[in-house]
Amino acid sequence: MNSNGYQSTFIYPYPNIPGTPNISAQPGVSMPMFQFQLAHAYVPWHYMGQVFNPAEALAHGTLFPELFSPYRG
Amino acid sequence: MWVYQKKLEYPVRVSGPNPRLAKVIITQYGGPDGELSASLRYLNQRYSMPTDKARGLLTDIGTEELAHMEIVATIFYKLTRGVSPEQMQAAGLGGHYAQHNHALFWSDPEGVPWIAAYVQATGDPITDLTEDMNAEQKARSTYEHLIHLSDDPCVTDVLRFLRQREVVHFQRFGEALNDLQGFLSSKKVF
Ligand SMILES: [Fe+2]
């Protein structure tokens, strides 16, 4: 509740963040909760997963395949 | 303190002299959204961050941006090496040559020198991290503009690497913002 008496905080399970993998399907990984508030900015959490080998990482500009986002313009 | 490694984070090759391309790439050296702005912004803002993790992130990314400034400097140096004053003039670098010969200098492509007003430090970690995310997007956009202007595939390859780093930095600053805005769970898999 904020000072006006309205509910201002929404708690969503992490997988509800659009565009992120449903990590609750992974064994042994508990589901983190995330507190969203209006007028705040957030990014989806990045979780450690598969990684490129060092030579591939240098060529891609990142160690993480899911963060590789090449410019196609 | 820093430990210097005598190599670039990403190797720089150029196909040959190209002062016309050098003239626009200088913006990532000393333009508003260039690597000098980025490195100094982060290395300065870190003092007023409330957590060791946020301070460490700004140190790491600020350090990497210094390495990017060195990459951009190397591109400009290689693209103008051996280029005559007349060729510099024809490529729009006559003003640069008059003041700096073949030396590097922090300016945008129009010769406007770098100024500290390009960066901010408010002491409010949310405000500063939001500026940092914005800065990463501006740098990404600028690299995309430079990719369009580049007629040297070797240089374009380096520009693509630098652009991808901005994408990664945006993600990391966003996670720092998440952290400071109150992440409820302690179960993170980092
Ligand atoms: Fe960056």
The pLDDT, as a whole number, for residue A36 is 77
Q: Which of A25-29, A65-69, B168-172 has the lowest mean pLDDT?
A: A25-29
| Residue B118 Cα, gap to closest chain A Cα (Å) | 23
Question: How far apart are the C-alpha atoms of A69 and B61, rounded to whole Å?
Answer: 19
Confidence bin at B169 (pLDDT 50/70/90): very high
Q: A3-43, pLDDT tens digit by residue?
A: 444 444 555 545 444 444 444 445 455 545 566 788 889 99
B5 assigned to some structural domain? no
Q: How far is the CA of A52 from the centre of ligand 1 (A)?
A: 20
Q: Is A50 on the interface with B (CB under 8 A)?
A: no
Question: How far apart are the C-alpha atoms of A31 and B164, rounded to whole Å?
Answer: 29
| Residue A12 Cα, gap to closest chain B Cα (Å) | 11
B190 assigned to some structural domain? no
Question: How far apart are the C-alpha atoms of A30 and A64, rounded to whole Å?
Answer: 22
**φ/ψ (deg, to 5) at A37:** -130, 145
Residues of B in contact with A48 (CB under 8 A): 189-190
Q: Where are the alpha helices (DSSP H) in B26-152?
A: 27-30, 35-45, 52-80, 85-90, 94-100, 125-149
Q: Are residues A29 and A47 in the same domain?
A: no
Domain that holds residue B32: 19-181
Q: B88-131, pLDDT tens digit by residue?
A: 999 999 999 999 999 999 999 999 999 999 999 999 999 999 99
Look at A69 and B133 and tell me if their CB atoms are within 8 Å: no
* A-B contacts (CB, under 8 Å): 77
Which residue, among B60, B132, B179, B181, would best test binding to A if mutated, counting the most A CBs under 10 Å from its CB?
Answer: B181
Residues of A in contact with B171 (CB under 8 A): 43, 46, 67
**φ/ψ (deg, to 5) at B176:** -65, -40
Of all residues in chain A, what percent are helix, strand and coil, respectively (each to 5)? 20, 15, 65
Q: Is A16 on the interface with B (CB under 8 A)?
A: no
Give the type of residue at B86. E
Which pTM was predicted?
0.87
Q: What is the ipTM of this complex?
A: 0.90
Q: Are residues A8 and A29 in the same domain?
A: yes
Q: Are residues A8 and A36 in the same domain?
A: yes
Q: Are residues A28 and A1 in the same domain?
A: yes
Question: How far apart are the C-alpha atoms of B108 and B25, rounded to whole Å?
Answer: 9
Q: Are residues A10 and A34 in the same domain?
A: yes
What share of chain B in percent tops pLDDT 90?
A: 94
Number of separate domains in chain B? 1
Q: Are residues A50 and A34 in the same domain?
A: no
A37 has which bridge partners? A9
Tokens of B131: 């500026």
Question: How far apart are the C-alpha atoms of B37 and B135, rounded to whole Å?
Answer: 9
Average pLDDT value for chain B = 95
Q: CB neighbours (10 Å) of residue B121?
A: 16
Residues B154-161 have a mean pLDDT of 98
Q: How far is the CA of B170 from the centre of ligand 1 (A)?
A: 7
Domain that holds residue A64: 43-73
Look at A42 and B189 and tell me if their CB atoms are within 8 Å: no
Pick from B80, B94, B83: nearest CA to B29: B80
Q: How far is the CA of B37 from the centre of ligand 1 (A)?
A: 10
- B173: CATH: 1.20.1260.10
Q: Are residues A52 and A18 in the same domain?
A: no
B1 assigned to some structural domain? no
The pLDDT, as a whole number, for residue B79 is 98
pLDDT at residue B174 tops 80: yes
Residues of B in contact with A73 (CB under 8 A): 144, 147-148
The H or E element spanning position A33 is: strand A33-37
Number of separate domains in chain A? 2
Gap between the terminal Cα atoms of chain B: 26
Q: Are residues A35 and A47 in the same domain?
A: no
Chain A residue with CA closest to B143: the answer is A71
Taking ligand 1, which is a single-atom ion, which protein residues have CB atoms under 5 Å away?
Answer: B 166, 169
